[in-house]
Structure formats: structure tokens, C-alpha cells
């Protein structure tokens, strides 16, 4: 009887260990939220998109994950960039993505192309976490290297969208893995 119980317990644990999925640790999310905030400080949006003297909110859009957008909201509460208070919104492909100043595509967005196409002609800073995102024209690629978050920049894509990236940002960027 004891052996059976042990066996059951072992199977029970093994099954759980084998279960795979994806999610983001809270700490990791905080680091990425910090990146979104800090990266934005080195980006200039066209005045038509973001008035240099105005105080309209700056919209950080997060594609498709409620938990993540909530966590970003918490991490970026009370943060602002040049008088523009940061607002975080969760968005879907069907939404008007051109209203975003920054569009963040977490790594569970495995097909980023439709999102990138939706903002291709708009000054929207795109930040993503997959190689496909970077290859398909995403602007800032966040990736994990040796337990640290690094970023790579596709300057051409940003220029094409009318965004100006400051030299310091380009200097701090890494080569994509």
C-alpha cells in the first residue's frame, strides 16, 4: 500500500514537471517594464504624434496579455516622460494600434508580423522579444543572455517610421544574438 502511494506520488510529480507552458516571472516583467520606460527616454516622436511641449499621455500598448499589462501598469505607475504620463493599455490586433506610442509584443506573440504591419506606416516604437519580431522589422529586440536582459536595435526600421533614436541608445545597444 505504501509502495503504491509512493508510486502514485512520483507519477503525480513527474506529470507536473513535464508540463510545459510559458509565463513571465514578476521580476523579469519589472526589468522589462523598466526597459520600456528607459528606452522611451531616448526616442523622439514626431511632434504630430507627441507634442514636445504638451502633456498628453503617452500610450504604452501591450499585445494580448491582461496579466502582463496589469503588471506593467503597477511597475510604471506615476512614471512620465517629459510631462507625458505613461498609460498602459492591453491591445489586440483588431484595435487601432496607430494610437500607441509604444507597442510591446511579449514573447508569447509568436507571429508578430500582423502587429508590425498594422503600425508600419506610423511613428510607433515597437519592442518585441522574438527573433521573428526582429527579422520582420521590429525596432527594439529584448532578449535574455546569461540571465540578463539585453537589447538590440533595428535603426532603419525606426527611421522608416519617423522615430529618432538618440546616439546614446545606439551606443548602449548590443548585437542581436
Residue 167 CB, nearest approach to other proteins (Å):
13
Binding mask of the shown chain, residues 89 to 128, with x at each position contacting other proteins by CB under 8 A:
-x-----------------x--------------------
* H-type alpha helices, the chain: 2-18, 26-40, 66-75, 113-118, 131-135, 155-160, 167-172
- For the chain, the 3-state helix, strand and coil shares in percent, each to the nearest 5, are 40, 25, 40
Look up cell 506606416; give the residue: 121
Residue 60 in the binding site for other proteins (CB under 8 A): no
Between 99 and 149, name the residue whose CB sits nearer to other proteins: 149
Q: Considering only CA atoms, which of 157, 151, 150 is closest in space to residue 126?
A: 157
Residue range at the interface with other proteins (CB under 8 A); choices 52-60, 72-80, 109-117, 152-160: 72-80
Q: Which is nearer to other proteins, 120 or 172 (CB)?
A: 172
Amino acid at each position: 500500500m505504501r509502495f503504491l502511494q509512493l508510486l502514485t506520488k512520483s507519477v503525480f510529480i513527474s506529470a507536473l514537471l513535464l508540463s510545459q507552458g510559458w509565463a513571465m516571472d514578476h521580476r523579469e516583467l519589472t526589468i522589462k517594464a523598466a526597459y520600456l520606460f528607459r528606452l522611451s527616454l531616448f526616442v523622439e516622436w514626431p511632434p504630430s504624434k507627441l507634442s514636445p511641449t504638451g502633456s498628453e499621455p503617452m500610450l504604452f500598448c501591450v499585445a494580448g496579455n491582461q496579466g502582463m499589462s496589469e503588471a506593467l501598469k503597477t511597475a510604471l505607475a506615476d512614471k512620465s516622460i517629459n510631462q507625458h504620463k505613461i498609460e498602459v493599455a492591453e491591445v489586440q490586433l483588431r484595435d487601432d494600434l496607430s494610437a500607441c506610442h509604444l507597442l510591446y509584443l511579449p514573447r508569447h506573440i509568436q507571429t508578430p508580423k500582423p502587429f508590425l504591419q498594422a503600425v508600419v506606416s506610423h511613428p510607433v516604437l515597437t519592442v518585441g522579444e522574438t527573433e521573428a519580431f526582429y527579422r520582420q522589422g521590429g525596432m527594439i529586440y529584448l532578449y535574455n543572455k546569461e540571465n540578463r536582459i539585453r537589447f538590440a536595435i533595428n535603426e532603419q526600421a525606426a527611421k522608416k517610421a519617423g522615430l529618432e533614436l538618440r546616439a546614446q541608445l545606439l551606443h548602449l545597444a548590443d548585437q542581436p544574438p
